[in-house]
Structure formats: C-alpha cells, structure tokens
Amino acid sequence: MKAPTVIIITITLVISVAALIDFRLWWALDNQSLFGGAGQASFATPADEGQHLFGQKCAACHTVGGGDRVGPDLKDVLTRREKLWVARFIKEPDVVLASGDPIATDLLKKYKNVPMTNLDLSKREIDAIVAYLEGPKQEAAPTAAPAIKGDPAAGRKLFAGMTHLANGGPACMSCHNVNGVGRYGGGTVGPDLTTASRFGAAGIAGILEGLPYPAMQPIYRNKLLTKEEQAHLAAFLMSVPPAAPAPFPWKFLGAVALGFLFFVVTPGIVWRRRNRGIRQPLVEACRR
C-alpha cells in the first residue's frame, strides 16, 4: 500500500473516532448522565416527585380523576389493583402483557388494543409515581383555555415539514409515516401513524402536548409543539384515511431504470473505445 493512501486512511480513522467521541460526550451531557445526573430537580416528598413525573410521562394517556383517555383513569387505582402489580406494570408493561396476565389482557382489549409504552423508568421514579397514585393531591382544576380549532391541511404541512415547527423541532415525517403523505412515504424510526385516530381526539391531544415517549423526549425537550401546532396536527391525524393497498412502485422502478441508463449504460457507450488495459494485450502478444 502506498504511503499517501496509508496517510489518508489514518487521517480518516482519526477524524471518525474523534467525531464519535464528541457525539457520545454531547449525548451524555445532553441527558445529564455524567457525574451522577447533576442538575436534577429536588422534591420535598416522593409523592411530589411522582406528581411531576406523572405530568411529564403519564398524563398524555392517563388522568387522575379526569376520566379515561387513551388508557384508564388512575384515580383510586391502588384500591383496585395490588401495589406490586401496579409497580411491575409501570416498569415493564410489555413483559406483563407477553406473560398473558389476565388483568393486562383485559385492559388491552378494553382500550382499543393500544398497549402501554415501556417508559424505561428507574425504580426510584416508579416508586415516586406509585406514591403519588396512593394519594394524589386534589388541586383546583385550572381554567380551560378556549379550544383551538385545528386545520387538517395546516397539520399535513407541519407533519411533512413543508411548514417548519415554531420551536425548531424536526418534522414528524422524519420518523413517522402516514398514508398518502410524501411520494415515498415517511420515516420508519417511529410507528406508522395512519391509524392514530384510534387514540381518539383527546388521546392524540394529550400525546402531542407531552410527547411522553423516551425516544422523543431528548429531541423535543426544548422544542415542544405550540398549542396551534398541536391542534393542526391532531386534526390532520384524525382525518387520515385508512391505508389502501400499496400500489406497485412504477415511478420508483422507472427512476432506478433511468439512473442505471444514465450512470452505467450511457458512459459505456460513450467511452466504448477507451483503453481497457495495457498489460493483458502485451502478455497475449508475447504468447503468439
């Protein structure tokens, strides 16, 4: 291997490793995972911390005394369920469902087969939420703000990124797909939202307000959706028609064929008389 090639490869590897280290350091700092998670808020009691966590991670799908949303109203849940069962279900709802637990199975059927998301909570966070559910404070309900009427067309533009989100968050289409948006569809990092209307208007509104899913929280931590954006996106997701059978991708195949002709066939025709090698003809000539 020639010396310049070795130098180029070495420089490339050094830059790649440095970029990886820089990214890992940024991720750790951004999630406050260095030095024991410094900077966490302090709370007077575990129940106070649980109330904060409930509003941050649970309120998109549940209420305490406000009626059912995507999931059940959790008022007095510890009088209906054992404390250990509640704690375990909060910790790993997917495992409890997979085990065939009859309570979890019945809840899944009752709430439109929408499973609870695994929120990756620590034991301390789970204990705090359970402490809050044991006796949540009865606070005066805030005065409801006038409802904003959402525009499905505006929501479609926000979803697809044609209209930028006010606080700088990435477009929903970066990670999600819905039926009929985009020539080649949306991202596949998150679930397909074509059937998001099954959550109901209240459920979608709660999710858009809190964005409680672990994968979304670091991305939108300081870039939450405005009330208007929430209303437009909710209206759009409620209006999405069911997915039709996917048509055969003629356009995509046509684009691939054109690309092949342009980048492979055409150069071969244009430079068909080019010198294809020197050593082989010389060897063949010597053998004659």
Q: What per-residue confidence (pLDDT) applies to 37?
A: 41
Assigned token pair, 182? 């985009």
Contact 136, 51 (CB under 8 A): yes
Q: What is the pLDDT of residue 243?
A: 66
- Residue 155 confidence (pLDDT): 95
Residue 164: per-residue pLDDT: 95
| pLDDT computed for residue 32 by the predictor | 41
d(CA 15, CA 182): 35
pLDDT confidence of residue 30:
45
At residue 162, the pLDDT reads: 93
Using alpha carbons, list the distances in angstroms from residue 59 to 63, 207, 211, 213, 249. Answer: 6, 8, 10, 12, 41
List domains and CATH numbers for the chain.
46-134 (1.10.760.10), 152-239 (1.10.760)
Residue type, 248: F
- Give pLDDT, residue 179: 87
Q: Which pLDDT score, from 0 to 100, does residue 255 have?
A: 81
pLDDT of residue 31: 44
Residue with tokens 């150069």: 267
Per-residue pLDDT of the chain (288 residues; tens, 9 = 90+): 445 555 566 666 656 655 555 544 444 444 443 333 444 568 889 999 999 899 888 888 898 988 888 899 999 999 999 999 999 999 999 999 999 999 999 999 998 888 898 888 999 999 999 999 997 655 444 455 567 899 999 999 999 999 999 999 999 999 999 988 877 788 889 999 998 888 888 788 888 987 878 788 889 988 999 999 999 999 999 999 876 555 556 677 788 888 888 787 777 777 777 666 677 777 777 877
Q: Per the confidence metrics, is the pTM higher than 0.75?
A: no
| Closest C-alpha to 65, from 145, 132, 117 | 132
Give me the pLDDT at residue 50, please: 92
